[in-house]
Structure 1
């Protein structure tokens, strides 16, 4: 009974903390031991999805674990001039164990990360980490070589449990779709830019896309971006896997040669379909469903307009007005300036220790 009560308390605390900002989440560490035990994993599940300064602090803590291997002891330094030694002190938590979301772009953008990516990924392997979310926003200043490290086969287990993937910049030479097809079977959400200048690689990519869709265990929410991409080839790929589609958004593809959209009616699980093209009227006539228009900002100087069709299980217009891929929620957590809310790893440890002493 005590165990059941303890779990109930943890569940209630989790419900409360899920609605807090990162600033308030850190404050929650001080409430008591129970709140601390819930708040710490929640904060550290996505340490590189914060703004730069917080992500930089997370990297420093990860580096401490790299120096100590599997140990959670930190703090040993020697001063030969004074002949003094500061003894190792244990970290209260093995923070990398809590990692669930990896913003790979943010990680690679951090100062001093060069030469450490492989070591960090190996550390995650050693700890048996299984991610559920993986994000690559853009290439930044790093070369493409840095961005392909995660596709190395020896790191496959880290990504085998992915549920959500967002890759917004094309990586044609990195075989991203191939990596996902070979390693992931549990994805429910994929938002990816497939742009490539090589028609041979495009054909291979679409073949791997078909393989990827076929191995997923649940219907997919799929958003595919490809400026002037071969729409006819894509439709052929999707038609072969129509039962696996739940939500589908096709952005900037060239559908000028596509006339048959009736296959969408055969998708038993499809609840939302969207495209960016001038075919709205034709598609609506085929589907016998009115479309809704959504305007989003694709860059600083341009806007993207998509036409959306919503369905319920019977193929009628859905009563849900929302646009699934445009919820407006950012995975980036607001950063509070260091002067506004002092934070570093020593500070977090001190706060955590204080809360653990409370009953």
Structure 2
């Protein structure tokens, strides 16, 4: 007796398609099979829509991504863009079949900023800023369970993490230290399950360092840690690292101008990989 894929339970089919996560062309083909396949595949495609370098995409692709996101915006946001003479949607574009924003498990502020600036490169910067703000607000409202946040953008949106319930499930944070005031404090109050943290240090403002130490200290199962210092030192962070000496398995350290103090590494009993580097 042979079994067709169409006969499989939805849960099994979903698990099979999830293994195609990094095969974009195949996932696009799955969209065309039937409604069920489409529903499962579109979730995978939008799980990390930033996963491919936007600079290597054609303007058509980046415009399509941005148009889809804008189509998902609430009417209030669309009216705000219209009043500011920001027209990205095609006049023939129908209402989206799905609420694509809620499928996102990864949020990259830098990639979003890059896509917007790429599409609106001939427009004043304040218009790009407004588009980014409204899309981020939508993500804050729609993403119920965020897994990864990447925050390196030169454009720093002032979205408030305390009103972002989906960030409670965050497991990976990649960011720079020079983020808006209270960012790290807000995150430390609601997110305690980070397994991977990567921070680029660009300054030594004591408040930010204290907030970063607090964030690191409050994590329950930190496994991967990357600290990168540009013309500053992250030595003051070391006391916060010692709490995780039994859980951290990967430790990547980079210092541009300061010697790396490595004596504390001996405390990490389960360390499997360490990459110390100084310029």
The TM-score, its normalising length taken from structure 2, stands at 0.73
Name the CA distance, whole Å, in 1 between partners of 2:33 and 2:142: 29
Alignment of 1:1-359 (within 5 A): 5-15=9-19, 17-20=20-23, 22-50=24-52, 51=54, 52=57, 53=59, 54-68=61-75, 91-109=96-114, 110=116, 111=120, 113-139=128-154, 146-150=155-159, 152-167=160-175, 169-171=176-178, 174-196=181-203, 199=204, 201=205, 203-230=206-233, 232-252=235-255, 256=259, 258=261, 261=263, 263-277=264-278
Give the secondary-structure state (helix, strand or coil) at the position aligned to 2:72. helix
Name the CA distance, whole Å, in 1 between partners of 2:33 and 2:217: 47
Residue of structure 2 in register with 1:293 after alignment: none
Ranges in structure 1 where 5+ consecutive residues have no aligned partner: 71-85, 140-145, 278-303, 305-359
Give the secondary-structure state (helix, strand or coil) at the position aligned to 1:116. helix
Of structures 1 and 2, the one with the larger relative CO (CA 8 A, separation 6+) is: 1
Name the CA distance, whole Å, in 2 between partners of 1:41 and 1:192: 29
**C-alpha displacement at 1:251, in angstroms?**
0.5
Name the CA distance, whole Å, in 1 between partners of 2:276 and 2:260: 15
Name the CA distance, whole Å, in 2 between partners of 1:39 and 1:45: 10
Name the CA distance, whole Å, in 1 between partners of 2:29 and 2:260: 57
**C-alpha displacement at 1:43, in angstroms?**
1.0
The number of equivalent residue pairs is 246
Bigger Rg, structure 1 or 2: 1
**C-alpha displacement at 1:188, in angstroms?**
1.1
Is the CA contact 1:148–1:174 (under 8 Å) kept in the aligned structure 2?
no
Query: Relative to total residues, which structure has the larger strand share, 1 or 2?
Result: 1
Instruction: Write out per-residue CA displacement over residues 126-148 of structure 1, whole angstroms, 9 at most, x where no aligned residue.
Output: 33533211223452xxxxxx414
Give the secondary-structure state (helix, strand or coil) at the position aligned to 1:149. coil
**C-alpha displacement at 1:154, in angstroms?**
4.8
Ranges in structure 2 where 5+ consecutive residues have no aligned partner: 1-6, 78-90, 121-126
Is the CA contact 2:71–2:95 (under 8 Å) kept in the aligned structure 1?
no
The TM-score, its normalising length taken from structure 1, stands at 0.59
Instruction: Write out per-residue CA displacement over residues 226-256 of structure 1, whole angstroms, 9 at most, x where no aligned residue.
Output: 1343354333442354334221111016554
Instruction: Write out per-residue CA displacement over residues 73-97 of structure 1, whole angstroms, 9 at most, x where no aligned residue.
Output: xxxxxxxxxxxxx999653212111
Query: Do the aligned partners of residues 56 and 162 (structure 1) sit closer, same or farther apart at CA in structure 2, a change above 3 Å counting?
Result: farther
Query: Relative to total residues, which structure has the larger helix share, 1 or 2?
Result: 2
Give the secondary-structure state (helix, strand or coil) at the position aligned to 1:134. strand
Is the CA contact 1:162–1:187 (under 8 Å) kept in the aligned structure 2?
yes
Query: Do the aligned partners of residues 19 and 138 (structure 1) sit closer, same or farther apart at CA in structure 2, a change above 3 Å counting?
Result: closer
**C-alpha displacement at 1:99, in angstroms?**
1.1
